[in-house]
Amino acid sequence: MKRAEQLAKTRQAILKTATTLFLQKGFSGASTRDIAKQIGITQPALYHHFNDKEVLYLAVLTNLCGKVRQDINKVMRKQQVDPEERLYGITEVLRKHHPLNVYDQYQEAKRELSESAQRKLDMLFTMDYLEPIADFFKLPEVHLRPDLLPKEAAELFIADLSPIFKSFQPIGGHAISEEQRTKLILSCILRGLTVPVTASEK
């Protein structure tokens, strides 16, 4: 194998392994030493491809976030889907790419990254998560409340998904399926926790 091919193969192996570890352990929990060890290379060899941990993390996120945006856009292009089913599709995209709570990992990384890296992370989060999810809240059939902007609703939605990433919380009892549980949580996020009271019931 030519050297250029070997370098490209090693770079891809680094990105693949780093993606798995960063998503499983977060930015602070995954070390470049662990990443290099799993691939079978030295830490200096890893730094030949990525100058430091932040550069590697942002490379991972750039690739991952682009895939998330593409998948959310696919859900948004579906025809004749009611709002709760569309929101369920968006949630499944987030769960497909994130084994842990999206918002928690984003906030944890922001605390650890340099100011320059924080700005890049914010840009990725806004462009690939908030903006495509905000498009959902712009749909006329969603009926977004007037005191919220679509992008604000998108951020609140992502922040409210915590129970979906924590299966220990027995919402809806133990008899319902994982899909039913997720849809119940999403319905509460979208419609609230209470049933609207009509004028005749007051």
How confident is the model over 72-130, as pLDDT tens digits?
999 999 999 999 999 999 999 999 999 999 999 999 999 999 999 999 999 999 999 99
Q: What's the pLDDT at 4?
A: 84
Cβ contact 68:97 at 8 Å: yes
Q: What's the pLDDT at 11?
A: 95
Cα(first)–Cα(last) distance of the chain, in Å?
Answer: 78
Q: Give all domains of the chain, ordered by start, each with its CATH number.
A: 1-51 (1.10.10.60), 53-193 (1.10.357)
% of the chain with per-residue pLDDT over 90: 75
Q: Identify the band that residue 196 occupies on the pLDDT scale cut at 50, 70 and 90.
A: low
Q: How far apart are CA 42 and CA 39, in angstroms?
A: 9
Q: How far apart are CA 170 and CA 156, in angstroms?
A: 22
